[in-house]
Structure 1
Amino acid sequence: MFNKTKSENEVIDFEKRNKIKLPIDYRGFLLEIGNGGAGPYYGLEPIENGLFSDLDYKHKSDLNDLSKPFPHTEHWNLDFGEVTEENEDEYLEQKDEEYYQNKWVNGILRVSNLGCGVSMNLVVNEKEYGNLWVDDRCNEQGIYPNPYNENRDRIIFIDWYENWIDNELKRFNT
């Protein structure tokens, strides 16, 4: 089941407000199939939810800035060094202060909630434009391209979605 599709004017308005141009495959999905709904993990998020920094705790004051460049081109994670009993408090303070800043996820639109603070994200700005990336900072795994294995290290939205459909069909046909 899908949410109602977006109109061309609604998509254009979203793009203008956020100073971006959506990747053509995702844009087509919104216009022809639906604005969120059935999909991998906890389903596809409506585009309006994609702005939230955290899909588990949606606060209108905590949004990603889609107009700013996505800062990564390879797996990224902060290294705070080894955690010991002596430095645990300092480590946690530093982590909370730096690790979860929105500057690390500018230029991405959240498209699916994997749960427990992990999200699948569509890059809408800069070199990785159109590719899906995982934000798994809550498990201290950082931010990295969606792991895809058919001799490609990147995947675009529609290929990711079709892969999910294919896997679901295989599951029901066995």
Structure 2
Amino acid sequence: MAVAPGADEVHGAAGFGHRFFLEEPLSSAELGELEDQVGVVLPEEYRSFLLTVGRGGAGPAWGLFPVRHAESRWQWEGDGAEITALNTLAQPFPYITAFNPADGLPGPPEDEDFDSAEAYEEAEEAYWDNYYQVIDAPEHSVGLIYLCHLGCAYREALVVSGPARGQMWGDNRADGGGFAPLVDSCGVTQSFAVWYRRWLEDTESQLMMQTPDPPS
């Protein structure tokens, strides 16, 4: 794919993107050390990928966050990877259906409800402070490893603990959309392997459409 015509036009591949490069796989010893540190055995499909394909790089959107050893421990790196709370991965992600932490919150204040601009600004500031405390609460993302950044703070993550273990979920809090499992065209939840293969197939199809026909 890296040398195919149009490769630089694939979303997330050019510039500071992944450029279709895969970092070398983890060794069994490295994976064991990683799992010991985070306190959880990773889902089998992702474990297999780390051992036989690569520790990160080429993948959906801006690429698959690589897991690297830094500052005496293993961690995922990339724009958004820092959201992964390494010390809570063994805690069960409690959800099995889409949810929005913002559901039930009152709407933002209306300026006509206040006697002065200063009072309205104070109320608005208090509202947004509370809003972000609620939607960004750490309990919403326990048991999740964030694996890629779609751009504009939209991210996708792998559930590693809890009833949805092995599923890929989207974190759409950037636009108030909450969390939801990623599903295929039939509504079936996507595992890591299905998610990654779908990107491969979609990218291959995009590149084939840009390949010129051979001369007759």
Q: Would the aligned equivalents of 2:81 and 2:146 in 1 still touch at CA under 8 Å?
A: no
1:16-165 counterparts in 2 under 5 A? 16-48=36-68, 55-56=79-80, 58=82, 63-64=85-86, 65-77=88-100, 78-79=102-103, 80-85=105-110, 88-149=124-185, 151-165=186-200
Q: Would the aligned equivalents of 1:18 and 1:67 in 2 still touch at CA under 8 Å?
A: yes
CA shift in 2, pair 1:161/1:57, >3 Å: closer
Q: Separation in 2 of the partners of 1:120 and 1:97?
A: 21
**Tell me, which stretches of 5 or more residues in structure 2 are unaligned?**
1-20, 111-119, 210-216
Q: CA deviation at 1:51?
A: 5.7
CA shift in 2, pair 1:21/1:57, >3 Å: closer
Q: Separation in 2 of the partners of 1:118 and 1:33?
A: 25
- In the superposition, the TM-score normalised over structure 1's length comes to 0.88
How many pairs align? Answer: 171
- In the superposition, the TM-score normalised over structure 2's length comes to 0.72
3-state SS of the aligned residue for 2:99? coil
Q: Separation in 1 of the partners of 2:181 and 2:25?
A: 27
**In angstroms, what is the RMSD of aligned CA positions?**
2.4
Q: Separation in 2 of the partners of 1:132 and 1:161?
A: 10
Q: Would the aligned equivalents of 1:145 and 1:153 in 2 still touch at CA under 8 Å?
A: no
Q: Show CA shifts across 1:44-77 (max 9, x none).
A: 001359967x944848xx8352011102111111
Structure number, greater radius of gyration: 2
Q: Separation in 2 of the partners of 1:170 and 1:124?
A: 30
CA shift in 2, pair 1:163/1:135, >3 Å: same
**Tell me, which stretches of 5 or more residues in structure 1 are unaligned?**
none
Q: Separation in 2 of the partners of 1:156 and 1:112?
A: 15
Q: In the alignment, is residue 172 of structure 1 matched against residue 207 of structure 2?
A: yes
Q: Provide the identity percentage.
A: 26
Q: CA deviation at 1:25?
A: 0.8
